Amino acid sequence: MKEDDDTLISLICEAYKWLDCRIMESFIDVRFRISNITQRARWGKAMALTLERKSVVAIFIFFWTCTSYAMSRIISESSITKQHEEWMAIHGRVYADNAEKVKRQQIFKENLEFIENHNKQGNKRYNLSLNPFADLKNQEFLASHTGALYNPSTEPSNINDNLGYQNVSLSDIEPSLDWRDRGAVNPIKYQGTCGTFLYLINAKSIVTMPFKYQFTKKNVKIASFDVVFI
């Protein structure tokens, strides 16, 4: 009877040990799961903070870029206005009202950008610069300065009578001749609106006659056409 009791007690102890082991394993498993959940929560929180920081940085960069762009536009517009004012003072440009000035300044800006882009290329044999027509569009310039049409019927009938050719030797001809170096040609002059260049051309032709006589020792005939336009 006692042996049976000892056996029963031994079985009960083994059962308690087994149960205790199972409880500890379950507890450890629960703690491990809780630890994983906690770590995931911390990782998620860290990721959330990281994303939040990145979002803040992205928003800051966005607003900084917008602000910088806006400031650059303000500085650019201010620079354009200053250059336009200086250009107006140099060429004596005056506008009827502020609306016309704003319009012309915009055209001035477009032409200035075209000039700068052309000069930046560096693969051209020439550079561009501002001139008295920097506030005009191409169509406006062409309409006001290249609109005159040539009419042959207005030319004198004997215009070719004074034309002729002379047999000369190449050795008698100077290697080069630039009338500007001789003082026979005046500096470039603004011709004004279309048509007025005829007066300038005829005036130039008469002014240069003494120089031509000085170097050729021949009388130079002046057509009546030249005198009429003077």
Q: pLDDT of 3-24, one tens digit each?
A: 555 565 565 556 556 555 655 5
Backbone angles phi, psi at 163, to 5 degrees: -85, 140
List of residues 6+ apart from 223 with CB closer than 8 A: 156, 159, 162
Per-residue model confidence (pLDDT) at position 74: 42
Match 């990782």 to its residue by tokens.
43
Per-residue model confidence (pLDDT) at position 191: 61
Q: How far is CA 23 from CA 15, 16, 142, in A?
A: 12, 10, 100
Backbone angles phi, psi at 131, to 5 degrees: -135, 180
Distance CA 202, CA 212 (A): 15
Per-residue model confidence (pLDDT) at position 180: 73
pLDDT band at 176 (very low <50, low <70, confident <90, very high): confident
List of residues 6+ apart from 176 with CB closer than 8 A: none
The pTM of the whole model exceeds 0.75: no
90-93 own/partner pairs: CB under 8 Å, 24+ apart: 91/132, 93/135
Judged against a pLDDT cut of 70, whether residue 118 lies above it is answered with yes
Mean pLDDT for all residues in the chain: 68
Looking at residues 205-209, what average pLDDT do you find? Answer: 63
pLDDT band at 88 (very low <50, low <70, confident <90, very high): very high
Distance CA 192, CA 200 (A): 10
Q: How far is CA 58 from CA 48, 69, 117, 169, in A?
A: 15, 16, 33, 81
